[in-house]
């Protein structure tokens, strides 16, 4: 079953009530709240990234040719589209039967 990741964590007191702050996923793994500013458009399972993590992402051999989106506001729409595509794919695959 597909579980939707939630990177939108809380309202920022400096932002309007309707806006939500999105945090960098790798930084959160280190228990650090850093505002995400971009995400990778090339990765199959993109995650929100801060400027430092985005820079590191494009410096590694495996991901050095990846393309970053610098508009983090597009990230939730991308996640919805990926989840929808994943659910459609799973719906077309019949479960394997055991003998």
Per-residue pLDDT reduced to its tens digit, 64-74 = 999 999 998 88
* CA dist., res. 70 & res. 74, Å (int): 9
| Domain residue limits at 32 | 21-92
Total domains, the chain: 1
Confirm whether 4 is domain-assigned: no
75 with 22: CB under 8 angstroms?
A: yes
CB count within 10 Å of CB 1 equals 4
Confirm whether 7 is domain-assigned: no
Question: What digits encode the pLDDT tens for the residues 8-55?
Answer: 544 445 444 335 688 999 999 999 999 999 999 999 888 999 999 999
Q: Which residue has the tokens 């993109």?
A: 46
> How confident is the model at residue 33, as a pLDDT?
93
Confirm whether 83 is domain-assigned: yes
> How confident is the model at residue 81, as a pLDDT?
67
* CA dist., res. 5 & res. 76, Å (int): 10
Prediction pTM value: 0.63
35 with 24: CB under 8 angstroms?
A: yes
């Amino acid at each position: 079953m597909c579980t939707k990741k939630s990177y939108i964590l809380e309202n920022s007191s400096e932002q309007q009530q309707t806006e939500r702050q999105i945090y960098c996923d790798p930084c959160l793994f280190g228990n650090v709240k850093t505002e995400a500013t971009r995400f990778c458009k090339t990765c199959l399972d993109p995650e929100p990234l801060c400027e430092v993590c985005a820079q590191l992402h494009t410096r590694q051999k495996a991901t050095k040719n990846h393309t970053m989106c610098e508009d983090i506001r597009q990230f939730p729409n991308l996640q919805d589209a990926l989840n929808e595509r994943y659910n459609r794919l799973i719906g077309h695959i019949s479960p394997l039967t055991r003998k």
